Amino acid sequence: MVPYIDVMLVLLIIFMITAPMLTQGIDVDLPNVNSSNLDPNLLAENEPFILSIDAAGNFYLNTGANPESPVDNQSILRQTQIIVTNNPNSPILVKADETVPYGRVVEGMSLLQQGGAERIGFLTDPPEMIN
């Protein structure tokens, strides 16, 4: 019984540390879809690099001096190259408002790929439960 309590406490600490990382950045209205969760071990080892796209189509990065200021295409390329070079295992995610045109999301993904990102994930909200 005692070893299980230790495991539970370790898991609780991991979730307490990783939960704030997933809620940082610009406030966007994420689409509600069924999707798989990120590997908690990967998040515990590497802080995710998140490209956010707000309803107006502005790009934001969760890195740098001011993550709440819009960034230009060159900044996205530079920051992606730095992240991929320094930490190739860092999860690279796109967090786009559901009202953003598809072309703008693809443009952001293209910039991440040009910066060296090979695997890009999307942040979504779970679907609302119907009672």
What residue segments make up the domains of the chain, in order of their start? 2-122
The pLDDT of residue 113: 92
Report pLDDT digits (tens) over 32-88: 556 555 555 555 567 888 999 999 999 999 887 788 899 999 999 999 999 999 988
Note the pTM of the prediction, 2 decimals: 0.65
Question: In whole angstroms, what is the distance from residue 50 CA to residue 121 CA?
Answer: 9
Any idea which architecture 2-122 has in CATH? 2-Layer Sandwich (3.30)
pLDDT tens-digit profile of 109-128?
999 999 999 888 888 777 66
Q: What is the pLDDT of residue 6?
A: 75
